[in-house]
Amino acid sequence: MKIYRAKNYEDMSRKAANILSAQIILKPDCVLGLATGSTPIGAYEKLVEWYQKGDLDFSEVTTVNLDEYKGMDRENEQSYYHFMQDHLFGHVNISAESTHLPDGLAADSAQECARYDSLIRDLGGIDLQLLGLGHNGHIGFNEPGEAFEKGVHCVDLTESTIEANKRFFASADEVPKQAYTMGIQTIMQARKILVVVCGEEKADMVAKVFCGEVTPAVPGSILQMHRDVILVGDEAALSKIPE
């Protein structure tokens, strides 16, 4: 695992965006696995800036997002579809057909999971998967549990995730209770993984995930078993990881 220590959020965002753009430059028709949440927003801003300067071209890139709320219309401002339009897709030259997220409104959950799984397989897998880290150690919406979930599946969100995500909604009651997410196996099959973390409140979990026991009780800990993980964090988030 490579660890890049950033001075602050801005520096973390630039370092992460550099890694994402290196992937696009080295393989223009790459498949990027993308994440939502507050941590990657600064990196997306950098990618948009570099695209606008003429340094990046998304015309051959394909993206697959980690997750989407179940029951959420993509036009809803809180949908992850909307988030991706706002922060990246709406500002770069990527075609709508090349961007993929689970369909929150799919009538049949099992069918939707199978569709998304085979879509990723048909694309030839993910070249670079971007991940944030939940306060409870989740990656995607793989919540702490008894076993590492395999492929794309539908999950019940934990109270702590609902609590953490309520900042985006009028109240906790409005946070959807279920979501579609890539499974641990889907994520682990990505050829390269980039994890971004920021802030002191993540420091204990970052240490548990990357230096603690590998256990489904801390879903992100499985990343210790992946052979090509890059962790980019600010000083506060990495403060409990030994130098």
Q: Which residue type occupies 120?
A: I
| Candidate list 1, 2, 10, 38; residue touching ligand F6R; CB under 6 A | 38
Q: What number of chain residues touch ligand F6R (CB under 6 A)? A: 14
Contact status: 72 vs ligand F6R (CB under 6 A): no
| Candidate list 31, 66, 187, 195; residue touching ligand F6R; CB under 6 A | 66
| Candidate list 140, 176, 183, 219; residue touching ligand F6R; CB under 6 A | 140
Q: Which residue has the tokens 């500002």?
A: 91
Stretch that binds ligand F6R, among 29-37, 71-79, 206-214, 225-233 (CB under 6 A): 29-37
| Candidate list 33, 102, 132, 183; residue touching ligand F6R; CB under 6 A | 132
Phi-psi bin for 71: left (phi > 0), alpha (psi -120 to 50), beta? left
d(CA 37, CA 41): 7
d(CA 89, CA 34): 11
Residue 4, SS3 per DSSP: strand
Which spans in the chain are helix H? 9-26, 41-52, 80-87, 109-122, 159-165, 184-188, 203-211
User: In the complex with ligand F6R, which residue's Cβ is closer, 229 or 243?
Assistant: 229
User: In the complex with ligand F6R, which residue's Cβ is closer, 67 or 149?
Assistant: 67
> Catalytic residue numbers?
67, 136, 138, 143
Q: Which residue has the tokens 């492929």?
A: 151
Token pair for 217 = 């009780």
Contact status: 67 vs ligand F6R (CB under 6 A): yes
DSSP assigned state of 39: T
Contact status: 39 vs ligand F6R (CB under 6 A): yes
| Candidate list 138, 193, 209, 231; residue touching ligand F6R; CB under 6 A | 138
Token pair for 2 = 């490579």
Chain-centroid distance of CA 174 in Å reads 22
Q: Minimal distance in Å, beta carbon 74 to ligand F6R?
A: 15
| Candidate list 134, 183, 219, 233; residue touching ligand F6R; CB under 6 A | 134
Contact status: 36 vs ligand F6R (CB under 6 A): yes
Per CB under 6 A, residues contacting ligand F6R are 35-39, 66-67, 132-134, 138-141
